[in-house]
Every structure is written in C-alpha cells, then in structure tokens.
A and B are shown apart, each in its own frame.
Chain A
Amino acid sequence: QQQVKQSPQSLIVQKGGISIINCAYENTAFDYFPWYQQFPGKGPALLIAIRPDVSEKKEGRFTISFNKSAKQFSLHIMDSQPGDSATYFCAASRDGSARQLTFGSGTQLTVLP
C-alpha cells in the first residue's frame, strides 16, 4: 500500500504551458514534502520542498501548493520548457528531514518543443 499517491503517471505539455503534478498522502505524521527531479540515467535531485506550516512555496518557475486539510500537495511548473522533460517524484517524511523519504510512484513529464 503506497503511502504517497502520485498522479498522473505521465504528462505531455506544450512548451510554455503549465505542468501540474499531484500527490496525496494518508499519514498525518508526515511533515516534510520534497519534490525530486530525475533525468534518464541519473539519480534523483532535490527540486523544491515545503513544510506544512506554509501553503505555497515558489522557486523560479516551480511552485509547490500544499493543502494540509486535504492531505494533498502539488507541483506546478510554469512556462514549461523541453529541458524540464524528466521524471518527477513527490516524497514525504515523518521527522522533517530527508532521512526516511516515502516516495510517490513518479510522473514522466514530456514538454514538446
């Protein structure tokens, strides 16, 4: 049983469009929610992260929206570029750190030129 459910499994977006990836969790003990980006043949790399005391965090074209009551969080990529084509994983942990991350199943994003 997956504790962090991620959707969609794959996403195709035109260049300049908005990419939205959603995650939902059950465990209310989770208190740290990072997103990782993985390019083919590479390991995941931290993209952006949020803690439940804020509802939104923005870094450049990437924004995390967090809804604590609904136990959902999402990644928005504005002005999507072909270079953003990668697999994106949401994750959650219980102790506010990157020690024991529970990952979602991943979303393969393709941005068409």
Chain B
Amino acid sequence: EAQVTQNPRYLITVTGKKLTVTCSQNMNHEYMSWYRQDPGLGLRQIYYSMNVEVTDKGDVPEGYKVSRKEKRNFPLILESPSPNQTSLYFCASSLDWGLMNTEAFFGQGTRLTVV
C-alpha cells in the first residue's frame, strides 16, 4: 500500500529536550516536505526537499532542522523544543518529475506537545 508513515503519532516532551519525528514514504517520490497545522492558520510549510541531500526552508523554518540522506526518509528534528512548537505535524511527499507534481500525499500526523 502506497503511504507516508510518520512516527510517533503522539509525543509529549519537555522544553529543551531534543526530539526527532521520522517520516518515510514507499512511493519513490523525489519531493518531501513538512507542515505544521495550527487552529485558524491551516497548514504552513516548515522545510522541503527536492531530492537526496537537497533541502530548503519553507515558510516557518525557525527552530527546526531536517535531513535527507535517503530518498524514502525525511526526519524532522527539533534541537531544543519550545512550547510554541506544540502543534500537529504532517509529512508529505509527491512525485516531482516534469509536470507530474500535482498531488501531495500526507502522513497521518504527529501531535506534539511541548511543556
């Protein structure tokens, strides 16, 4: 089954404790990205990657890091989480070949609470 898998689904952590949210896709997609979803703000892009070792900032990158060492994986790293990073996070992937990149496939989300 084609899917984007995020782990963990739920996470409660304390301020300053480094954490990683993993994301893996099995569709051989070149393009992957991270979004955060907050009430009244919709989804906002944090970082994206157009292929292995190619990453760039989205609209709200502060406080986050990413890496893309393999095509299928795109982890989101919070080096020193703060309460304002409490949010629902989504990883997405899409085929990025020619004009075919028209649908982003989203994972099921990771609800992060930073206390």
Do A and B make up one complex?
yes
Q: Which A residues fall within an 8 A CB radius of B?
A: 2, 4, 6, 9, 32, 34, 41-46, 49, 89, 96-106
Which range contains the number of B residues in contact with the other chain?
20 to 34
Chain B hits for A32, CB < 8 A: 102
Q: Which residues of A contact B58 (CB under 8 A)?
A: 100
Q: A2-B41, A89-B42, A89-B43 are in contact. Are A98 and B107 (CB under 8 A)?
A: no
In the bound assembly, the distance between CA atoms of A102 and B50 in angstroms comes to 17
The 9 A-B pairs at the shortest CB distance, nearest first, are namely A43-B106, A103-B42, A97-B101, A98-B104, A103-B43, A105-B42, A46-B103, A98-B94, A44-B106
Expressed in whole angstroms, the Cα–Cα distance for A49 and B101 within the complex equals: 12
| B42 adjacent to A97 (CB under 8 Å) | no
Give complex CA distance A99, B41 in Å: 19
Residue of A with least CB distance to B98: A97
Q: Which residues of B contact A103 (CB under 8 A)?
A: 35, 42-44
Q: Is B48 part of the binding interface, using a Cβ–Cβ cutoff of 8 Å?
A: yes
Task: Pick the most buried of A32, A46, A89, A97: most chain B CB atoms within 10 A of its CB.
Answer: A97
Chain A residues, Cβ within 8 Å of B42: 2, 4, 6, 89, 103-106
| Bound Cα distance A45, B35 (Å) | 14
Task: Determine the residue in chain A with the shortest Cβ distance to B107.
Answer: A43
Q: Please give the distance in Å from B37's CB to the nearest CB on chain A.
A: 8
Q: Which residues of B contact A44 (CB under 8 A)?
A: 43, 90, 104, 106
State the CA gap A9–B50 with chains docked (Å).
33
Q: How far is the CA of A44 from the CA of B36 in the complex (A)?
A: 12
Return chain A residues, CB-CB under 8 Å to B35: 103
Whole-angstrom CA separation of A99 from B47 in the bound complex: 11
* A99 and B48 form a contact (CB under 8 A): yes
Question: Do the beta carbons of A98 and B90 come within 8 Å of each other?
Answer: no
A contact residues around B22 at 8 Å (CB): none
Measured in the bound complex, the distance between the Cα atoms of B9 and A41 in whole Å is 10
* Per-position 1/0 for B33-63, Cβ under 8 A of A: 1010000111111001010000000110000
Q: Which residue of A lies closest to B41 (CB)?
A: A105
Cβ-closest chain A residue relative to B90: A43
Residue of B nearest to A106 (CB): B42
Task: Choose from A42, A98, A101 the contact partner of B43 (Cβ within 8 Å).
Answer: A101
